Amino acid sequence: MVWRELSPRDLYDLRNPLIIDVRSPCEFEEERIPEAINFPLLSNEERAQIGFLYKNQGELYARRYALKFIAPKIPDIVDQILALREHGNSVVIHCWRGGLRSEAVASVLSIAGIPCLRLTGGYKAWRRMIVDDLTRDAYPFDPIVLYGNTGSGKTDILEELQRQGAQILDLELLANHRGSTFGSIGKGKQPSQKNFEAALWSELRRFDRSQTVFLEAESRKIGKIALPNLILEKIKKGHAVLVEGSMDKRIERILSTYWDCQNADATSALDEAFQLLEFIKVRIGKKRCDDIRSLAAQGKLSDVVEILLSEYYDPLYRESTKHQQNYLVTVSGDNPSASATELLKLSVTAQ
């Protein structure tokens, strides 16, 4: 039994493939196929050592030396693949560019009588396909775009739209960031740019083109993640909807989101907020920043949020959307369920 080659495009003709990435952990962490599982043939340290030998002793010497690391690991990797493989599922092996590492595992699987496929060109070729698709807008859609002040309820409406069966593109979820100066609080590490683009590509290709897609208006960057030009163009040219919310409800929502988050307790969230406060000092001034710290120390977090909304976020938002004047409709973020129902009806008209 001999393993066969599989192109990146043909990978998605398979039903629930088991994708095995045999690159080192640091390679996998930085960029990967979203559905892949990492069974590294070389540790980060071993990979660095082989790279050094390749550069200084040549390819043949480096390959032979790499076998000393790889050979003892093969049996365990085969056992792990067998444990994960479901009946009828295709096993797809890949490394960086379809070289020694994927060849070694694919060959051993074949010898063991386990049918498998090797991704032609490895992750590098798969990544090239993603970049090409995102550049040429391979999965076009016509969105309804939610605009509105910070805390107005745009995300709540998106989530309610999804519950009611609509297609949504939650860019902030993919970027693991809320898109504002304080948007990292309690969220942990953001994905790499390449992993974000891979996750975005996966979302885009799932959409039913006959149905409307809802998303929030975002700036060019969400935290450290840069949005591809095609998404910025979708936001710019999409059907605009304005979401408004009362100040009381906006304050309540922000306190709930930022200080009741599961990934950080209130104290650590507040500490992180104080660090980020330095980034807006140039707009609201040192004295106002000191006032905010004083109010927070007294536990007056509602007052803190109101100052940030009225003196920082709202003026900044008005400035960034001053050219956006034509809205299909205005909905209330105070009642996400009713607004989602109204937008679903609107989407039929917008198609």
CATH number for position 75: 3.40.250.10
Query: Which residue in this structure is represented by tokens 């609201």?
Result: 284
Same domain, yes or no: 117 and 153: no
pLDDT of residue 348: 66
Domain encompassing residue 211: 141-350
CATH number for position 172: 3.40.50.300
pLDDT of residue 1: 58
- Segment 22-28 mean pLDDT: 96
pLDDT digits (tens, 9 = 90+) for 290-337: 999 999 889 899 999 999 999 999 998 888 888 877 899 999 999 999
Same domain, yes or no: 127 and 199: no
Same domain, yes or no: 82 and 123: yes
Same domain, yes or no: 71 and 187: no
The domain boundary, picked from 133, 167, 184, lies at: 133
Same domain, yes or no: 237 and 178: yes
95 catalytic residue (yes or no)? yes
Evaluate if residue 280 carries a pLDDT over 90. no
**Rounded Cα–Cα distance for residues 256 and 293 (Å):** 19
Give one word for 285, left, alpha or beta, with left for phi > 0 and alpha for psi -120 to 50. Answer: left
Same domain, yes or no: 113 and 248: no
Predicted TM-score (pTM) of this structure: 0.91
More confident residue, 275 or 119: 119
Evaluate if residue 283 carries a pLDDT over 90. no
Same domain, yes or no: 187 and 288: yes
Same domain, yes or no: 194 and 302: yes
pLDDT of residue 272: 81
- Domain total of the chain: 2
Q: Which of 155, 325, 339 shows the shortest CA–CA distance to 347?
A: 339
C-alpha count within 13 angstroms, C-beta hemisphere, residue 224 = 9
Catalytic choice (95, 116, 261, 289): 95
pLDDT band at 262, cuts 50/70/90? very low
pLDDT digits (tens, 9 = 90+) for 73-93: 989 999 999 889 877 789 999
Same domain, yes or no: 163 and 116: no
Q: Which string of b and e fits 147-173 if b means at least 16 CB within 10 Å?
A: bbbbbbbbbbbbbbbeeeebbbbebbe
- The four Cα atoms 293, 298, 302, 304 give a dihedral, to 10 degrees, of -10
Same domain, yes or no: 15 and 90: yes
For residue 86, give every residue at least 6 positions away whose Cβ sits within 8 Å of its Cβ, in sequence order, or none: 16, 18
**Rounded Cα–Cα distance for residues 263 and 258 (Å):** 10
Contact, 142 vs 230, CB < 8 A? no
**Rounded Cα–Cα distance for residues 53 and 61 (Å):** 7
The domain boundary, picked from 133, 160, 178, lies at: 133
**Tokens standing for residue 339:** 């607004």
**Local structure of residue 280 (DSSP, 8 states):** G
pLDDT digits (tens, 9 = 90+) for 44-64: 999 999 999 999 999 899 989
Same domain, yes or no: 231 and 284: yes
Contact, 1 vs 115, CB < 8 A? yes
Same domain, yes or no: 313 and 218: yes
pLDDT band at 187, cuts 50/70/90? confident
pLDDT of residue 138: 92
